[in-house]
Every structure is written in structure tokens, then in C-alpha cells.
């Protein structure tokens, strides 16, 4: 789907337009922990939609706009005009409504656990973790003492070998190529452990570039607004160091920024990172690191990271890893120590006294993304607890909020849409029988995880203390890292859910040929058992179709039914497929959210293909599900109109300018208002709304892109 976000070529996430720490969420949430501010509860809540008799917000439409001129505004214009982005968010849309419900539901679970004096096991850990984060007075009283041992250890680093050991010791499994919000890490290197792209029966560590505090290399290298942001970032670094009592904060901030600029220069671009063939080509042995990326004491690094016994690695951005390693050797040791001290303080600010948390939000929330006000403490506590004990919370969430009936009906929709996609493959005139055979085999092997994982994480070894917010976060991060390391050397099980059930999102995992739909997205407004079938298929059906289609977009089409990177296309078919992709990229590159910047059609191509194919296959599945039933208008709308309007209203969205500009640089999704326009490529949309030649969205039949 969509959203802010970082995502790698290996992941094809739906990305929800939310501002919680989830796949495809508002980037300001996971990367910019926010400080306490004045009473967000008093801010005016966005207007709730008034639903028609078929579960659709008729009042949100702007019928003064012709559907054929701007379908997003036709479906959502009145909603856009009457809705204000909440002060604690940089974006707002349909996904937020559902996310807020999931947030409230999980808050109730956590607060009940926190107040239960007889709680045991995972329930007690949930309650204690939540309570520790909510204890602002206790956090304030401790001052810097929770982070001081880390700062003292950094101060004692005496040589580059010890520096390399520190980089290895802080390595975490925090660069998730399946999760766009965790696409980069502020640690010097990132690690992701999952199925080998070349040998699907084993796990392998993927090593990725890291080390930047701002979202992308462009923030460090471009002029204009980015140059001003660099000044503000340097001021932020100085402020954090000053709060920690450093008397040389200004000079150190200048050196730290200069170091990060040097790191940014060697980073791969978004387009390079999203090139699967480029990333997959770099299989290194552990012994190769010293020769291919000299500058780091790799023996010390791997020993400290717990990877000493691991021999095989995939190095996704080899030039960046080599460039960063060279900087480790060439830059002064004291600069690196200052850098590590700042990174440690900045990362810990969420769990430190208010002055640190306030400063972190002021830069990452307000300066970078234009969010004027931090989220209330309990919402941040929900995010933190979900991040640490998400599946433990998820068990309780599913018991309370996910019915067997919902699961059964969603299963039926998935089957219907898979069947419709199979028929679309059969009907493709441009594809040869040979390629069709492979495509159908891949579709038949697609596995679907719906609602919750088959096997839950075991948190019994995670220590949680009711009076140690920072320690809890550090232990949870280390627990997750070790859980990932434990997979190395074991058979691939395909039981990782990748998200928690209370997440409003969906995911395609091309490395496993698998789809994941968490329980929380299977609720109104995306899926409503009481709503009209046309609206449900237009909303959640298009999401399901989108995720299925990711298996066959410009990235997913490079993987076979086992998740192996494998070219199963005939040369002629691949050429035709690429041509369709080029046409779609060109179409999206004409969209301009701002006069000075366009959507990057190439960067967003995978999501655009999935949108076009997803809506088309959902429409086919809806029609097939009706089995010839009479099309009875509801509230004056035909079934086809209700389907397309259900789709468009799923993409309701508003963004602050700073947040939208950031997305245009780094997000593999086009902004939601333009995603809603993908309907112009579907023949059925034209008669549904009487769209005629001469209207702004009209495309001649031969210009409508039909990839699948």
C-alpha cells in the first residue's frame, strides 16, 4: 500500500499511511521518539466519516470535481477540506483511523497488565515494560545514569581495534529490508538475517550501509533546503552534547556532521539499493572483508557481534561498506568516539529526562517532518511496548479483537482474488505459454499468513524491570538480535510473521513467496462484514490484490516459487514486461506534488505495478463473486462505482509539506492521492463514471497500462 518509508528491493510492503512504528508508517514515529508536550488530548480530532447505507463515506466526496479530472478529489475532496492533520502527526489518512483504534485496543491490554498485581509471565512483562516507560518522574530522577556506562565505555576506546570491537558490539538486527520504516540504521552497519536469496533452504546475514542520523544521503549532499537542514542538524547534535554536560559541544558537533557527510558520500542511492540484481551479486566470505573493505578490524568486529563462526554473508551495498570501513581507518579516533557518544545519547533520548526527549522530537519530529506536537506519552508507550513484546501483546489482541468469522471471510476473499489472478495470467495475450507455466506455478505456491503467526515468539529469556525504561529497551533490542542470530545454521521455517497482529499493514515476502496480513487491517474501513461487497473488494480486496501482485512486479518477478532469485522469463516476454513498466514509470513521473518536484516513477515502479494489477484483479474477483447477481444501485451508486470509490477512499491522505518532500526522496510509494489515480488504467473505470476524452485523467485505450 503506501506510506512514508523506507523499503528495500527485497521487500514489497503495502506500507500503511499511519504514524506508528509499523511497516510503511509515518517515518517520524520509529525514528523520531517524541518528547512530552502540552496536552495533545485537547487537540481537535479529525472529523469522523458519515457512512452511507453501504459502508461508504458519501459526505467525504466532492462532486463539484469531475471524476475524470481528479478522481482522488472526487472521492475525497470534502474530507480533505474538513480534515486537519492532528498536531502530533506529519501525515493523516484512512489508515490512521484504524491505527488509532488498534492503538486504543492495545493500550487497554497494556494498562490492564500494568495494574494487575498478580500478573505473571508475558503479561507481567507487558505491564512492567509499559509502566517503566510511563514513569516520567522515575526517568527524570535517574538523569543520565542509565546511559553513563555506555558513555564511559566509549571514552575508554584506545585504538582502532577497540573501535572496531565497539562497532561490532552495537550491531543489531535493526535493518529490516521487509520493513520500510527500518530501511536504514544510525549504527555504522546494518544487519538483516533471513533466507538466502540464492539458496532458499538456509539463512544468511545481509550487511547494509548505516551510520546516518538523517533519513538519506541526499540530506547531506544536496543544497537548498537540505543545506539548511544540515545546519539545524548540527545545532541538534550540539544541543544533545550540551545537555550531557560537554563543554566542547559546538566543535564536536561540527566534526560529527562532517563525518556523517563523508559517510553519506559513500552511501548507495535509493535506486541502487532497490536494484535486486546489484545487491544480490555480492556474496562474501568472512575472510573477504579484510581485503574488500579494509580499515575495520573485522576479526574484532565479528567476534564482538557474535558472528565469529559465520562464514557466508550478503553485502548489499559493497561500495558503501568499503567506503565506511576506509573512513574508520582515516578519520581521527577522537572524532569517532565523539560520534559514538552522540549516537548513544541521541538513540537513548526517548528514555532519558524530558530535556533530551524534547530536543529529539524538536529536530526529528518538527524540523525534519513538520510535526508541531509530540504524541501523548501513552501512545509512545504503546509503540515502545509493541516494539519490544509485540507478539506477546498480539496474542492478547487476537483473543479480544479478531474473530474466526473475520478470518474465514478474509480467507475466502484471498482465494477468490488468487483465482482471479490465475485467470488473468491465462488471458495475457503478450505472454508465451512457457512463461505462463512458471507464473502459474509461482502463484499456486504462494502462501498466505492471515491474522497472526502460527508460532509465537518466546519472550521467557527477556528480562523486563518496572523501573528501568532504557535498560528494558536495550535488553529487548539485544534479545531480538540474538533471536535472529539463532536462526543461522538452522533450516528455513517460513514461520516469521514480520509484523505484529495489531499492525495496520500488509506484506509480500518475495524471498519466501508468502503474503502476510495482520489482524488489525481486517477491520473497517478496509474490511467491514456489514458493508457492501463492492466496497470491501475495492478497499481490502485491492490491498490483497496489491500484495499478490507484488510477487509479479518488477522486483517480485525476479524470484521463483521457492523465493530464489531466478530468471524464469523468456527474453521476449521479459522485454514486453519491461516496456509496460517503463510506460507506467513515465505516467507516474508526470505527477507533481510540488511545482519543483515530481514523483519518481522509477523509484515507485514496483508499488505502481502492484496498484494497477491489484485493483484490476480485485475487480475481477468481485465480479466473479457476485455470480451474475443483479447490480442494484445503493444510495444512487452502481456496484462498479462503489468498488472504485471504496478503493479511492482507502487512499485518503494529507501530509505536511516537509514530510511529503521527504517521502518523494526516499519512499518507494507514490503519494496516496496519485495512487488513487491508478484507476485511469482500468477500462471498467471509464464507463462507471462516464469519463470522456478531453478530461484530465482520460487515457486512450492503447495508453492504459495493463501489466498483468
User: What digits encode the pLDDT tens for the residues 446-495?
Assistant: 999 999 999 999 999 999 999 999 999 999 999 999 999 999 999 999 99
Q: How many domains does the chain have?
A: 2
State the sign of the Cα–Cα–Cα–Cα dihedral 689, 693, 698, 702: positive
CA distance 506 to 17: 12
Q: How far is CA 640 from the centre of its chain?
A: 31
β-pairing, 12-13 vs 203-209, is unpaired
Q: What φ, ψ does residue 517 adopt, rounded to 5°?
A: -125, 100
Q: How far is CA 597 from the centre of its chain?
A: 23
Which of 228, 299, 213 lies closest to 260, judged by CA? 213
Which of 92, 7, 101 lies closest to 503, judged by CA? 101
Are 535 and 441 part of one and the same domain? Answer: yes
Are 185 and 256 part of one and the same domain? Answer: yes
pLDDT tens digits, 325-382? 999 999 999 999 999 999 999 999 999 999 999 999 999 999 999 999 999 999 999 9
Three-point CA angle 423, 424, 427, nearest 5°: 90
CA distance 510 to 512: 5
Residue with cell 512486479: 553
pLDDT tens digits, 624-639? 999 888 888 988 899 9
Are 177 and 322 part of one and the same domain? Answer: yes
CA distance 171 to 661: 30
Min mean pLDDT across 26-40, 151-165, 374-388, 688-702 is at 26-40
Half-sphere exposure of 333 (CA within 13 A, CB side): 12
CA dihedral 212, 217, 221, 226 (to 10 degrees): -80
* 662: confidence class by pLDDT, cuts 50, 70, 90: confident
282: cell is 555480492
Q: What φ, ψ does residue 682 adopt, rounded to 5°?
A: -105, 125
Domain-ending residue, one of 287, 319, 351: 351
Strands lying side by side in the sheet with 312-315: 189-195, 203-209, 312-315, 283-285
Higher pLDDT, 38 or 687: 687
CA distance 7 to 177: 6
Are 318 and 433 part of one and the same domain? Answer: no
538 in Cβ contact with 617 (< 8 Å) = no
Min mean pLDDT across 454-468, 543-557, 575-589 is at 543-557
Name residues whose C-beta falls within 8 Å of residue 661's C-beta, 6 or more positions apart in sequence: 225, 594, 597
Strands lying side by side in the sheet with 507-509: 12-13, 507-509, 514-518, 447-451
CA distance 306 to 207: 14
β-pairing, 312-315 vs 203-209, is parallel
220 lies in some domain: yes
Q: Which residues partner with 12 through β-bridges?
A: 508
Dihedral class, residue 295 (left if φ above 0, else alpha if ψ from -120 to 50, else beta):
left
Helices and strands: H and E segment counts in the chain: 30, 10
Are 239 and 342 part of one and the same domain? Answer: yes
CA dihedral 610, 13, 676, 596 (to 10 degrees): -110
CA distance 192 to 674: 32
How far the first Cα of the chain sits from its last, in Å, is 18
Domain extent, residue 257, equals: 159-351
Are 192 and 270 part of one and the same domain? Answer: yes
pLDDT higher than threshold 60 for residue 127: yes
661: cell is 518532500
Are 417 and 321 part of one and the same domain? Answer: no
pLDDT score of 637:
94
pLDDT higher than threshold 90 for residue 528: no
Q: What percent of the chain has pLDDT over 90?
A: 78
Are 345 and 439 part of one and the same domain? Answer: no
Are 303 and 443 part of one and the same domain? Answer: no
Q: How far is CA 637 from the centre of its chain?
A: 35
CA dihedral 394, 399, 402, 405 (to 10 degrees): 150
pLDDT higher than threshold 90 for residue 14: no
pLDDT score of 7:
29
Mean pLDDT for 191-211 is 95
Distances (CA, A) of 247 to 242, 255, 498, 691: 7, 15, 44, 67
CATH number at residue 168: 1.10.1380.10
176 in Cβ contact with 192 (< 8 Å) = yes
Name residues whose C-beta falls within 8 Å of residue 182's C-beta, 6 or more positions apart in sequence: 6, 30, 174, 175, 176
Distances (CA, A) of 107 to 73, 131, 374, 468, 599: 34, 11, 18, 20, 37
Dihedral class, residue 113 (left if φ above 0, else alpha if ψ from -120 to 50, else beta):
alpha
Q: Which residues partner with 13 through β-bridges?
A: 507
541 lies in some domain: yes
CA distance 286 to 65: 60
Which helix (H) or strand (E) segment is 654 a member of?
strand 653-655
356 lies in some domain: no
Other Cβ atoms closer than 10 A to 245: 8
387 lies in some domain: no
Mean pLDDT, rounded, of the chain: 89
221 lies in some domain: yes
CATH number at residue 537: 3.40.390.10
270 lies in some domain: yes
Mean pLDDT for 280-295 is 97
Residue with cell 487497554: 108
Q: Is 149 exposed, middle or buried (0-12, 13-18, 19+ CB in 10 A)?
A: exposed
Which of 379, 467, 382 lies closest to 130, judged by CA? 382
Mean pLDDT for 142-154 is 98
CA distance 107 to 103: 6
- pTM greater than 0.95: no
Q: Which residues partner with 509 through β-bridges?
A: 514
Which of 198, 316, 192, 178 lies closest to 559, judged by CA? 198
625 lies in some domain: yes
pLDDT score of 176:
72
230: cell is 544540515
pLDDT tens digits, 48-102? 554 555 667 899 999 999 999 999 999 999 999 999 999 988 899 888 888 999 9
pLDDT tens digits, 134-145? 999 999 999 999
Secondary structure of residue 283 in the 3-state scheme: strand
452: cell is 497472526
pLDDT higher than threshold 80 for residue 309: yes
Half-sphere exposure of 181 (CA within 13 A, CB side): 26
Q: How far is CA 88 from the centre of its chain?
A: 19
pLDDT score of 707:
87
Which residue stretches of 144-205 are H helix?
A: 148-155, 160-169
Residue with cell 499456486: 444
**Stated length of the chain:** 708
Are 311 and 447 part of one and the same domain? Answer: no
3-state secondary structure 352-407: CCHHHHHHHHHHHHHHHHCCCCCCCHHHHHHHHHHHHHHHHHHHHHHHHHCCHHHH
pLDDT score of 51:
53
Which of 173, 187, 471, 165 lies closest to 343, judged by CA? 187
DSSP notation for 596-651: TB---TTTTHHHHHHHHHHHHHHHHHHHHHHTT-----BTTB-HHHHHHHHHHHTT
CA distance 155 to 163: 11
265 lies in some domain: yes
Are 347 and 410 part of one and the same domain? Answer: no
131: cell is 509502566
Domain-ending residue, one of 330, 351, 372: 351
Q: Is 68 exposed, middle or buried (0-12, 13-18, 19+ CB in 10 A)?
A: buried
Name residues whose C-beta falls within 8 Å of residue 77's C-beta, 6 or more positions apart in sequence: 60, 61, 62, 64, 65, 70
Are 260 and 407 part of one and the same domain? Answer: no
Amino acid at each position: 500500500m503506501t506510506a512514508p518509508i523506507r523499503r528495500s528491493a527485497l521487500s514489497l510492503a503495502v506500507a500503511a499511511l499511519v504514524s506508528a512504528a509499523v511497516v510503511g508508517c509515518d517515518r517520524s514515529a520509529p525514528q523520531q521518539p517524541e518528547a512530552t508536550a502540552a496536552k495533545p488530548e485537547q487537540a481537535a480530532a479529525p472529523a469522523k466519516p458519515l457512512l452511507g447505507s453501504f459502508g461508504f463515506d458519501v459526505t467525504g466526496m466532492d462532486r463539484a470535481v469531475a471524476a475524470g479530472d481528479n478522481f482522488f478529489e472526487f472521492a475525497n475532496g470534502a474530507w480533505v477540506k474538513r480534515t486537519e492533520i492532528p498536531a502530533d502527526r506529519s501525515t493523516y489518512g484512512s489508515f490512521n483511523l484504524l491505527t488509532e483504534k488498534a492503538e486504543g485496543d492495545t493500550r487497554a491490554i497494556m494498562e490492564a497488565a500494568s495494574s494487575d498485581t498478580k500478573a505473571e509471565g508475558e503479561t507481567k512483562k507487558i505491564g512492567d515494560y509499559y509502566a517503566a516507560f510511563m514513569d516520567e518522574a522515575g526517568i527524570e530522577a535517574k538523569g543520565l545514569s542509565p546511559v553513563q556506562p555506555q558513555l564511559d565505555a566509549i571514552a575508554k576506546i584506545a585504538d582502532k581495534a577497540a573501535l572496531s570491537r565497539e562497532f561490532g558490539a552495537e550491531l543489531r538486527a535493526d535493518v529490516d529490508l521487509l520493513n520500510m520504516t527500518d530501511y536504514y540504521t544510525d549504527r555504522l552497519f546494518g544487519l538483516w538475517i533471513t533466507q538466502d536469496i540464492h539458496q532458499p533452504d538456509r539463512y544468511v546475514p545481509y550487511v547494509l550501509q548505516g551510520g546516518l542520523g538523517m533519513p538519506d544521503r541526499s540530506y547531506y549532499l544536496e543544497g537548498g533546503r537540505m543545506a539548511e537542514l544540515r545546519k539545524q542538524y548540527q545545532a541538534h547534535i550540539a544541543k544533545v552534547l550540551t545537555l550531557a554536560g560537554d563543554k566542547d559541544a559546538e566543535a564536536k558537533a561540527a566534526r560529527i556532521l562532517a563525518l556523517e557527510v563523508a559517510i553519506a558520500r559513500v552511501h548507495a542511492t535509493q535506486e541502487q539499493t532497490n536494484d535486486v540484481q546489484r545487491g544480490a551479486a555480492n556474496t562474501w566470505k568472512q575472510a573477504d572483508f579484510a581485503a574488500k573493505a579494509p580499515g575495520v578490524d573485522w576479526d574484532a568486529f565479528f567476534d564482538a557481534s557474535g558472528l565469529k563462526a559465520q562464514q557466508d554473508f550478503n553485502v548489499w551495498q559493497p561500495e558503501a561498506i568499503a567506503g565506511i570501513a576506509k573512513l574508520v581507518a582515516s578519520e581521527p579516533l577522537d572524532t569517532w568516539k565523539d560520534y559514538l557518544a552522540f549516537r548513544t545519547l541521541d538513540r537513548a533520548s526517548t528514555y532519558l529526562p524530558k530535556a533530551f526527549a524534547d530536543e529529539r522530537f524538536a529536530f526529528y519530529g518538527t524540523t525534519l517532518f513538520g510535526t508541531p506536537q509530540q504524541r501523548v506519552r501513552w501512545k509512545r508507550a504503546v509503540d515502545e511496548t509493541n516494539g519490544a513484546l509485540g507478539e506477546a501483546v498480539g496474542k492478547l489482541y487476537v483473543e479480544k479483537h479478531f474473530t474466526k468469522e473475520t478470518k474465514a471471510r478474509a480467507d475466502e476473499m484471498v482465494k477468490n482474488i488468487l483465482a482471479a489472478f490465475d485467470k488473468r495470467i491465462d488471458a495475457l495475450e503478450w505472454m508465451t505459454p512457457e512463461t505462463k507455466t512458471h507464473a502459474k506455478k509461482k502463484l499456486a505456491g504462494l502462501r498466505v499468513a492471515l491474522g497472526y503467526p502460527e508460532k509465537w515468539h518466546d519472550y521467557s529469556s527477556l528480562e523486563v524491570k518496572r523501573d528501568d525504561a532504557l535498560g528494558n529497551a536495550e535488553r529487548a533490542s539485544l534479545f531480538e538480535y540474538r533471536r535472529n542470530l539463532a536462526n543461522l545454521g538452522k533450516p528455513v521455517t517460513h514461520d516469521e510473521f514480520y509484523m505484529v497482529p495489531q499492525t495496520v499493514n500488509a506484506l509480500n515476502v518475495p524471498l519466501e513467496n508468502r503474503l502476510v496480513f495482520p489482524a488489525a487491517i481486517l477491520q473497517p474501513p478496509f474490511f467491514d462484514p456489514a458493508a457492501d461487497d463492492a466496497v470491501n473488494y475495492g478497499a481490502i480486496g485491492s490491498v490483497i490484490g496489491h500484495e499478490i501482485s507484488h510477487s509479479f512486479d518488477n522486483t517480485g518477478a525476479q524470484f521463483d516459487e521457492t523465493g530464489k532469485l531466478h530468471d524464469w522469463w523468456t527474453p521476449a516476454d521479459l522485454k514486453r514486461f519491461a516496456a509496460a513498466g517503463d510506460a507506467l514509470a513515465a505516467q507516474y513521473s508526470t505527477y507533481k506534488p510540488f511545482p519543483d518536484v515530481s514523483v519518481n516513477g522509477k523509484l515507485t515502479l514496483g508499488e505502481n505495478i502492484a496498484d494497477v494489477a491489484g485493483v484490476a484483479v480485485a475487480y475481477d474477483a468481485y465480479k466473479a463473486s457476485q455470480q451474475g447477481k443483479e447490480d442494484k444501485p445503493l444510495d444512487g451508486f452502481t456496484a462498479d462505482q462503489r468498488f472504485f470509490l471504496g478503493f479511492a477512499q482507502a487512499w485518503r491522505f494529507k501530509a505536511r509539506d516537509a514530510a511529503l518532500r521527504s517521502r518523494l526522496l526516499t519512499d518507494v510509494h507514490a503519494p496516496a492521492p496519485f495512487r488513487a489515480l491508478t484507476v485511469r488504467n482500468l477500462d471498467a473505470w471509464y464507463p462507471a463514471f462516464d469519463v470522456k476524452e478531453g478530461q484530465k485523467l482520460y487515457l486512450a485505450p492503447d495508453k492504459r497500462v495493463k501489466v498483468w
